[in-house]
Amino acid sequence: MAPVKLLKLLVLIGTSFIFVPVPSFWGLVNSAWNLCSVGKRQSPVNIETSHMILDPFLTPLRINTGGRKVSGTMYNTGRHVSLRLDKEHLVNISGGPMTYSHRLEEIRLHFGSEDSQGSEHLLNGQAFSGEVQLIHYNHELYTNVTEAAKSPNGLVVVSIFMKVSESSNPFLNRMLNRDTITRITYKNDAYLLQGLNIEELYPETSSFITYDGSMTIPPCYETASWIIMNKPVYITRMQMHSLRLLSQNQPSQIFLSMSDNFRPVQPLNNRCIRTNINFSLQGKDCPNNRAQKLQYRGMFYSRHSPKQ
């Protein structure tokens, strides 16, 4: 049995060993990451559609781009693909479960080494090929995302599942075409993208589910409200292959694919998963934050549903 003090994954690199922290040890590796181990509202989670609660007070999401396209810098962080918007291009979101308006700070991509895995959230125990996460902070209460991430009502993350298909979402096509994605092959590579229409990233649906959780990377602050859209977006098989060719490391180091950059699902711990999908069965309140089982009739998008 490995010693208890072995808190990181031992990896052979060339003729030497390095230590790489794995998610199950995050809370033990660094005391500032304690919530990753002991938190009760951690993300991601497995979404059991039979336990979703209809909330008639959830309004449609409202995306405000000011009628302008945006620019941003795409990074290889070594853990995920990150697109950070330029500060002069403001995109705000409101509605849904939000009391305040939230400002888009970053878009992250998670994906798998094979099509059967890659998303952080699961749907009835099944993963999608990837997951797009749009990270917003509460700009009405806080001055920046760093402050908001530590604070109540600080963050809203819109999550959209990715699925491999013959065609590609127009926004993701800008990010993942060969001329662009090859500019960020190695860790710390960056590339400027201009003329992006954020609204093109969203699937054609106003339906979503929502729950209270955390960020999926350390320090795992439990300050995020998650909004998961009811339909996926699509990328081509070639674009997925290009993502899998991105390296966690710099050019001078051994190649390690960035794929499978998802955190395992965390216990739900009696949190409510609410939805605005109109069930034939009347929704119930969620007393004491305990989920009530509904006779779900399959209105939520299935991983194996045909493209719509």
Q: Which of 75, 100, 137, 142 is catalytic?
A: 142
CA-to-CA distance for 97 and 7, rounded, in angstroms? 38
**What Å distances lie between residue 232 and 176, 214, 265, CA to CA?**
16, 22, 19
| Vertex 210 angle, CA 204 and 215, to 5° | 105
List for the chain the helix, strand, coil content (%; round to 5). 15, 30, 50
Residue 75 annotated among the catalytic residues of the structure: no
- By C-alpha distance, which of 99, 127, 97, 123 is closest to 112? 127
Burial of 183 (0-12, 13-18, 19+ CB in 10 A): middle
Report residue 25: phi and psi, to 5°. Answer: -110, 0
Catalytic amino acids?
Answer: 142
